[in-house]
Structure 1
Amino acid sequence: MRGKHRRVTAHTRPAASDGQLRPEVEAVTQDEEVPAGSGIDRINPGSGTSVVAFEDEDEIFLGESNALRYVQNASNPSSGRHGRHRVDAEPSHQWSCGPVNCEAALKFPSRHLQEALLTAYFRWFHYSFPIVDEPDIWKRWQTNAIPALLLQSLLFIGATHCEDSVLEKLGHKSRQEAKHAFFSRVKTLYDNDFESSKLVIGQSLFLMSFWRGDPLAEKDSRHWIGAAIALLQKMGFHRTGHAQGVRKRLWWAVYIRERQNAATLGLPNRIRDEDCDVESLRREDFALAFMPTFAAENVDVVINFNMGMARMATLLGEVLQTCYPPSRTVDASEHPDLHAKLLRWRADHLGTMPISVADGAACRNFYVNMLLMAYHNLRILMFQSDRPELRNEQNGGMCSSHVVDASTAICRIVEDMLSSKDIGHCQIHVITNIFNTLCIQTLGLRTWTGERRTLAVYRAKICLLGLRELQKTWDVTNWVLRLYFRYLDDGTAARLAMEGAEEDLPPSTRQSQEQHHHEQSVQQPEPLLSSATQQYDNGQAMEFMPNMPFPMPNGPDASLLAELGDGFVFNGNGILEDHVWHPDLFAGVGVV
């Protein structure tokens, strides 16, 4: 050492979401070894100052309501490093061109392409979150009167749901590239205070929360929804009499999004119900939300969906507070009351519709299916918490029968929506619903035997197919799903792997997997649900997801189950042979 400061070697690291290098660099001491868990200097060359960086800066905290903890350690779901998970920063992309100036942020596609993007927005997104009045938007669009911030925000969501041909005409090579371009424009206009209307800013902040960038980014979806909450509360939208029509719909959309986000990540609610007395949504609040040409029967379905999701969001907040407290014993007497509220919700918003959704035209409705998945997901959250009184020995002691029944129902809905090919346009919370179901079915692989285990394999694959379709719309790489594959043991991963992955992997990945094959061939198979293997640790598990096959059967009868091994699991010279996952762990299951 010289003087007061240690000599350091600088290593740059990629930025969180914009693909640029961060101005600060990490410092690694050359003169001494830094103990694990201690801080090391980080020097900012622009300021000449140093700050302290800790080893957990590449980790994300996921709380108790995130189902990943059940896959990470099935024998003791509450164990682990207090819910912390290491994730890798997203690699930089050619389309990540850095900050956009205001002049570039005011550039818009041609009128024809704007119309296509707005049409996609109103077809697939607006009915779930009617935060604008559709007739008013189209009227103002005809006269170029939509505020630039709001228009770019609408186009950003439109790029999420539009046809691939529209993306090509926009000049983008991928959906994520197009979404990044529009989001960058929205963010630039917002950062430069380009808009003065608080309502427009609130609407845009809500839409910005659907950007899914690097999980390590500071300004993630939770950041943007938090900014929207602060702004709307400042305007009094959370109080009675201050929000009507589109304003009330915006508040409840933000409320729903916040509750879903908190449940997904296992983080605290940011809106306290005791601080709010805003009225519930009513039919009259939707009077100007939709075009007059929108069929009356569809209006009824959409209004019921929005009112049901808002009411469920309040119940979701209660479940998170009651069933997932950080450091206290849950009062089991509170649980029957929550379940009774959920049953009343089902009676009010689902009526006499069969919950099994096995048959019936009504159950194929896009919004009814999303409502059903949200209902069953809340059942999972309500009964999966780690409490002895909810464990059921018949189900392997892993969870109550409510959880198993709910996850099975979600699998049936996903299968139904896969056959209609519209699942990719479901709202983003469906990703969480399916992922929670996937984790429950994965537990079934560990605890069940015989036909039940066979069905768990099949249902887990259904979940993966559903996530693949949603991934095409919402994200290129789902970092939570990466963690899921990291925590799987080789044998369980083998059961869930899909055909055709090998040729879709980059050569460097295949080479590393061949080396892994050689190393593992002389080792004993690890127990189910063990720690991460290296190939998942380096973030390659998701590489095969976008190219997995789609020809799933419509029902799990015996003959189809017998074909699962050849069609989806083992493929001669396919990826499973290269990974040397362990099919012998599943001997006797009936699908090998």
Structure 2
Amino acid sequence: MAPPAKRSKVGSACQRCRRQKLKCDIKRPCTLCVRAGVGCETADQWRVIQKPQKDQRRKTSSKHKRNSEDEQPENAGITKRPWSSSTMSLVEGAFSLHSSTPPETPSVNALPGGQGLHHSVSPRLGITRPADRRPGRPPTTNSWPQGPRPALAELVSLLPSQEVAALLVDTYFDRIHWFMLIFHQDDFRKTWQEMYDLPRQQLIESFPNQGFISTFLVVIAIALQYAGEHRQDLLKAHGISPMDLKERILSTTRAKILDIVSLGSLEAVQTCVLLGTYYLYHGKPELAWPVCGCGLRIAQALNLHRKLPQTAFITSEAYRKNETRKRCWWAIYEIETFCSMSYGYPHSIKDSDCDVEFLDPSAKSVTGQSPASADVMHDCTATLLSYKYLMSKLSVLINDILTDLYGLGSLKAETRQGGSTGSSSLQRLVRKVSALDARLQKWSAEIPAELRLDRADTTTYTSIDEMDQDIGASGPRFEAHIYQLQDLALKLAYENARILVHRPLLAYKSKFPAETETEELSSLVRDTVNLSLQSCRDAALSTSNIEKTPIFSLAADTYATAFIGMHTFTAGVMLCVLISMEPLALESHESKMGLRRLLRMQSLLKSRAHSSLNTQGLEILERLTKLVMEKELKEMLKSSEDEQRSVPQPGYSRDESNAQHLNESGQMLAMTERILDNEATFNYVEDPAMSQALFDFDQGVSFK
């Protein structure tokens, strides 16, 4: 028998003992590892990690901030504050163009940001950046602390019969799932059936996935909201009052939210996401923001924003669990970005802290590789997950738009040596807008043909009633229907992003005469600003043309109805602003036709009565439309001399599609290069009236 190997001495604990917090000895292999029959490996030595060099953009931003303390702005009358991206500030700006008082809080409190418009402190002044926090060790349990608690028993008491639950689960996956995609459908269906196989008391005491109970309840509560007449009749036949059960579930879940959050589980994150989005899309943004914030904090504690270590072999189960984690994280990221864009709140996620991959849109095998970054294009056959993958990438881009154009980093730098504030400010803004527009076009080019709305000439369902009676829908027909709904959502999100990118340039106008400005540069800058104005108009008109698509009416009865309403509302307010700028221009007639279509769209959304948000949006658009028409009448009655002042400078043709917009983007890039290379002074200054109008517009949109 061979003698035992001599054990060497070391000065630190082995990896296994360090990980399990065991008392290791000083020899290798250590006694505990020998007893356990496992390999004993020495932990790596600690080493100093060099912090990566920060982005040069952040350095220059800080430098500009320090310099601004000692220098005075060129335009002292214009308050140097970052833009707000919120829609309600756009509303207030639109009303200010007519010297009219914007809507008061009671009539806009269902709209994002509607509660804070008239606060004494401007949202611009209240923008802060979150501290750089490192997540702690994630919780290791999915059970209620200290054993079964009354909160769990109260939630379990709300569970309906199995027949009712089955109907509501089908309704969720028929009407809501395509928009959220936060679960794997097969896993969810399996888990809820296992839950119902247990007696109620055993469910409280020993169900291994107790966090799922709250998630399941929120799922069926949302499904109750979107059950059509046929399904409501089926529920009533089982003795269920849909609205009463929905309110009891929501009120109880809201009351027990801290108990749910204390689980610190993936299901707790899912509950917060579902509950938060429900409040956001149904007129209660004051509840949506903190609830989604709770979900974000749990997700960060669970390290959902970090990718898992790569292994040589991954099982099918491990792959699905990882994809579920990513679904949950990107759902959080999207709603955080949407809230930040709509409310004008600061974004609470730092991209530099996140390295989790995007979802794998193929979703067919464990060998599928997720794109590692937003710059990587994923070319594969379209699936129902392609929508979520594309929306996640767009959310990252929108976050950059909010940071570069609307955040603290977008504050106008003060006077520099050799240039004026107005010149350098416009120069930087043109560069940013051009770069972001190019990224947006790259994202649009990645959309597969199956997810382009212009292909949807007909629908697979002829009416809402037919859609309502197809319970537990599946197969090619239903899949084609889901594709069309996702087409619509992607189209709206894209056009809204175009408006978001180009809005800041609308605040500039030329200052004539200008001795230092070359004729070529003057034309280039004017054309760049005009292209942004045109892009905003094109995007709003393209949004209005969605009314002509057959899928729009059916989409108004799904979970996306408020999402649709918020984007059509923004497009309508933007058209009101553009018409007010040039009420007698040729383009204004087409804009008024687009505004008319958007009013009809809002009216249809309101009639479905799923959210008070659409009701308030329609009322504001109608009021703005009256002001626009009154201004047009005043302009028409002016003398011919005054009328000539409203004639716009030569612009561009309005008959443009997305393909033509790609050409516009190329024009903007080319003009930007020529502008930035020209050493002549930019003689464009910010128009105080328009700046205030756009700022007020942003505050107004936040009311939503």
Cα gap change, 1:340/1:195 in structure 2, threshold over 3 Å: closer, same or farther?
same
Q: For 1:140, give the aligned amino acid.
A: T
**SS of equivalent to 1:346:** helix
1:334 is aligned, of 432, 435, 439, to: 432
Using the TM superposition, name which of 263-272 and 441-450 deviates more.
441-450
Cα gap change, 1:468/1:152 in structure 2, threshold over 3 Å: closer, same or farther?
farther
Q: Which runs of 5+ in 1 are unaligned?
A: 1-61, 92-99, 289-297, 496-524, 529-592
Superimposed CA distance per residue, residues 343-399 of structure 1 (whole angstroms, 9 cap, x where no aligned partner): 111111246987867968899822112112111110011001255459998999796
Looking at structure 1, the residues matched to 436 and 529 of structure 2 have their Cα atoms a distance apart, in angstroms, of 25
Using the TM superposition, name which of 117-126 and 476-485 deviates more.
476-485
Q: Alpha-carbon deviation of 1:414?
A: 3.4
- Kept in 2, the 8 Å contact 1:374–1:430? The answer is no
- Kept in 1, the 8 Å contact 2:390–2:447? The answer is yes
Q: Alpha-carbon deviation of 1:126?
A: 1.6
How many residues are aligned here?
Answer: 420
Q: For 2:437, give the aligned amino acid.
A: H
2:534 is aligned, of 398, 401, 414, to: 401
Map 1:242-253 → 2, pairs under 5 A: 244-253=322-331
**SS of equivalent to 2:384:** helix
2:572 is aligned, of 438, 447, 453, to: 438
Looking at structure 2, the residues matched to 226 and 84 of structure 1 have their Cα atoms a distance apart, in angstroms, of 28
- Kept in 1, the 8 Å contact 2:334–2:395? The answer is yes
Superimposed CA distance per residue, residues 18-70 of structure 1 (whole angstroms, 9 cap, x where no aligned partner): xxxxxxxxxxxxxxxxxxxxxxxxxxxxxxxxxxxxxxxxxxxx972123333
Map 1:145-544 → 2, pairs under 5 A: 147-167=212-232, 170=235, 179-193=246-260, 196=263, 198-212=265-279, 220-241=287-308, 244-283=322-361, 300-326=382-408, 328-329=411-412, 331-332=428-429, 333-350=431-448, 365-388=484-507, 400-417=533-550, 420-425=553-558, 427=560, 428-446=562-580, 447-449=582-584, 452-471=587-606, 472=608, 474-478=610-614, 481=617, 484-485=620-621, 488=624, 490-492=626-628
Looking at structure 1, the residues matched to 296 and 365 of structure 2 have their Cα atoms a distance apart, in angstroms, of 24
Cα gap change, 1:464/1:338 in structure 2, threshold over 3 Å: closer, same or farther?
same
Looking at structure 1, the residues matched to 167 and 257 of structure 2 have their Cα atoms a distance apart, in angstroms, of 24
Cα gap change, 1:260/1:357 in structure 2, threshold over 3 Å: closer, same or farther?
farther
1:68 is aligned, of 85, 88, 91, to: 88
- Kept in 1, the 8 Å contact 2:547–2:601? The answer is yes
Superimposed CA distance per residue, residues 147-193 of structure 1 (whole angstroms, 9 cap, x where no aligned partner): 32111011122123221343455569997766433322322343344
Q: Alpha-carbon deviation of 1:214?
A: 11
Higher helix fraction (1 or 2):
2
Cα gap change, 1:279/1:215 in structure 2, threshold over 3 Å: closer, same or farther?
closer
Q: Which residue of 2 aligns with 1:58?
A: none
Q: TM-score, normalised by structure 2?
A: 0.51
- Kept in 2, the 8 Å contact 1:160–1:474? The answer is yes
Cα gap change, 1:319/1:474 in structure 2, threshold over 3 Å: closer, same or farther?
farther
Q: Which residue of 2 aligns with 1:37?
A: none
Looking at structure 2, the residues matched to 214 and 115 of structure 1 have their Cα atoms a distance apart, in angstroms, of 25
Q: Which residue of 2 aligns with 1:25?
A: none
Aligned alpha-carbon RMSD (Å)? 4.5
Cα gap change, 1:217/1:422 in structure 2, threshold over 3 Å: closer, same or farther?
closer
- Kept in 2, the 8 Å contact 1:424–1:473? The answer is no
Using the TM superposition, name which of 190-199 and 455-464 deviates more.
190-199
Q: For 1:254, give the aligned amino acid.
A: I
Q: For 2:227, give the aligned amino acid.
A: C
Superimposed CA distance per residue, residues 282-307 of structure 1 (whole angstroms, 9 cap, x where no aligned partner): 1365769xxxxxxxxx9934221111
- Kept in 1, the 8 Å contact 2:603–2:618? The answer is no
Q: Alpha-carbon deviation of 1:115?
A: 1.8
Q: Alpha-carbon deviation of 1:116?
A: 2.0
Superimposed CA distance per residue, residues 77-104 of structure 1 (whole angstroms, 9 cap, x where no aligned partner): 8x999x996346979xxxxxxxx99637
Q: For 1:113, give the aligned amino acid.
A: V
Using the TM superposition, name which of 147-156 and 215-224 deviates more.
215-224
- Kept in 1, the 8 Å contact 2:283–2:612? The answer is no
Cα gap change, 1:485/1:402 in structure 2, threshold over 3 Å: closer, same or farther?
closer
Using the TM superposition, name which of 265-274 and 423-432 deviates more.
423-432
Q: Which residue of 1 aligns with 2:52?
A: none
- Kept in 2, the 8 Å contact 1:118–1:154? The answer is yes
Looking at structure 2, the residues matched to 328 and 80 of structure 1 have their Cα atoms a distance apart, in angstroms, of 28
Looking at structure 1, the residues matched to 100 and 322 of structure 2 have their Cα atoms a distance apart, in angstroms, of 46
Percentage of matched positions with identical amino acids: 18
Q: Alpha-carbon deviation of 1:418?
A: 5.7
Q: Which residue of 2 aligns with 1:86?
A: 105
**SS of equivalent to 1:281:** coil
- Kept in 2, the 8 Å contact 1:175–1:473? The answer is no
Larger RCO of the pair (alpha carbons < 8 Å, separation 6+): 2
Q: Alpha-carbon deviation of 1:423?
A: 3.1
Looking at structure 2, the residues matched to 406 and 90 of structure 1 have their Cα atoms a distance apart, in angstroms, of 27
Q: Alpha-carbon deviation of 1:452?
A: 4.6
**SS of equivalent to 1:425:** coil
Cα gap change, 1:175/1:112 in structure 2, threshold over 3 Å: closer, same or farther?
closer
Kindly name which structure, 1 or 2, has the bigger radius of gyration based on alpha carbons: 2
Looking at structure 2, the residues matched to 258 and 378 of structure 1 have their Cα atoms a distance apart, in angstroms, of 16
Are residues 1:112 and 2:112 paired? no
- Kept in 1, the 8 Å contact 2:499–2:536? The answer is yes
Looking at structure 2, the residues matched to 89 and 101 of structure 1 have their Cα atoms a distance apart, in angstroms, of 36
**SS of equivalent to 2:195:** coil
Cα gap change, 1:214/1:357 in structure 2, threshold over 3 Å: closer, same or farther?
closer
